[in-house]
């Protein structure tokens, strides 16, 4: 399956903000995708086990739960699948400029995002967890303990919105990749990082000098991670929802999580 994937490594978009404009994107039809014979999927490959880069036979390849889901959607459409890897906050602008057809990147539906793109049914729901250096862990039990401190978040994430809206006393730093956040903790450029549950668990297997703050778990208000499409692409959304339902009911989605949780854990161990 994975040998059918072509990886497009795109440069980060600069100064675009979350959206290129507030205008919705023109609807995309199944027929248009099938006519070109390709489904271009925007993603951010720094989010194991959802998607991340491995080296296989000397070449880079993106793998993960979202990659499997993207391939399943392409298979249902009867087309090839291409991954377009970008900074997380550049994904919606890229969809708006029609450089990708859909986004699968552990992206949760929010009110702001839903104004310019549509979302499928959710396929995963996580929560935010705070990580800090072990040597400083006794200083933190609640979010308020980070008032006046610097907390890192993934740029364009729901954790970024949460801190901005609920904890203005916290100094927030937004970075383009999850790995950058944990490196920033280690380098003491930030005091903590608020990141989704699953990637937090994966990165903590690599960074033994970093740990969770057990008293902090930020449940997200969204329904969970979903596939983003251009507005009013009802036919395409229906097909995607059918694929998600099928993979949930068959147990394949759970199998993907088991497979890539194990693989990402091994990959991170190898980098220690």
Residue 25: what pLDDT? 60
Q: Looking at residue 272, what is its pLDDT?
A: 40
Q: What's the pLDDT at 46?
A: 86
User: Which parts of the chain sit beneath pLDDT 70?
Assistant: 1-25, 220-223, 265-272
Measured CA to CA, the distance from residue 20 to residue 74 in angstroms comes to: 26
What local confidence, expressed as pLDDT, does residue 93 receive?
94
Q: What is the pLDDT of residue 5?
A: 36
Number of Cβ within 10 Å of residue 32's Cβ equals 12
Which strands make up the sheet holding 171-175, listed edge to edge?
171-175, 150-154, 192-196, 127-133, 210-219
What tens digit of pLDDT does each residue of 71-85 get? 999 999 999 999 999
pLDDT digits (tens, 9 = 90+) for 170-219: 999 999 888 899 999 999 999 999 998 888 887 888 899 999 999 898 88
pLDDT at 222: 63
Q: What pLDDT, on a 0 to 100 scale, did the predictor assign at position 11?
A: 31
**Count of CB atoms situated within 10 Å of the CB of 232:** 14
Quote the pLDDT of residue 24: 55
Q: What are phi and psi of 3, to 5 degrees?
A: -70, -5
SS3 assignment, position 215? strand
What confidence score (pLDDT) does residue 206 get?
83
249 burial type by CB count under 10 A (0-12 exposed, 13-18 middle, 19+ buried): exposed
pLDDT of residue 35: 97
Give the pLDDT of residue 267.
52
Q: What does the pLDDT read at residue 19?
A: 45
């Amino acid at each position: 399956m994975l040998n059918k994937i072509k990886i497009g490594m795109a440069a980060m978009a600069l100064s675009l903000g979350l959206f290129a404009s507030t205008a919705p994107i023109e609807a995309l039809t199944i027929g248009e995708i099938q006519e070109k014979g390709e489904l271009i999927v925007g993603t951010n490959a720094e989010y194991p086990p959802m998607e991340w880069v491995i080296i296989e036979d000397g070449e880079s390849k993106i793998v993960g739960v979202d990659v499997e889901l993207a391939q399943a959607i392409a298979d249902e459409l009867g087309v090839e699948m291409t991954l377009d890897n970008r900074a997380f906050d550049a994904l919606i602008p890229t969809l708006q400029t029609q450089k990708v057809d859909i986004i699968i990147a552990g992206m949760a539906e929010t009110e702001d995002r839903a104004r310019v793109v549509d979302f499928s049914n959710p396929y995963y729901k996580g929560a935010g967890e705070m990580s800090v250096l072990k040597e400083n862990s006794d200083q933190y039990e609640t979010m308020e303990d980070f008032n006046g401190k610097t907390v890192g978040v993934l740029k364009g994430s729901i954790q970024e919105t949460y801190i901005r809206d609920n904890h203005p006393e916290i100094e927030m730093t937004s970075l383009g990749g999850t790995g950058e956040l944990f490196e920033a903790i280690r380098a003491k450029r930030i005091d903590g990082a608020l990141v989704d549950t699953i990637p937090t668990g994966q990165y903590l297997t690599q960074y033994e000098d970093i740990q969770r703050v057990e008293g902090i778990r930020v449940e997200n208000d969204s329904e969970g991670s979903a596939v983003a499409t251009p507005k009013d692409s009802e036919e395409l959304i229906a097909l995607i929802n059918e694929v998600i339902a099928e993979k949930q009911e068959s147990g394949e989605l759970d199998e993907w999580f088991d497979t890539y949780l194990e693989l990402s854990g091994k990959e991170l161990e190898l980098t220690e």
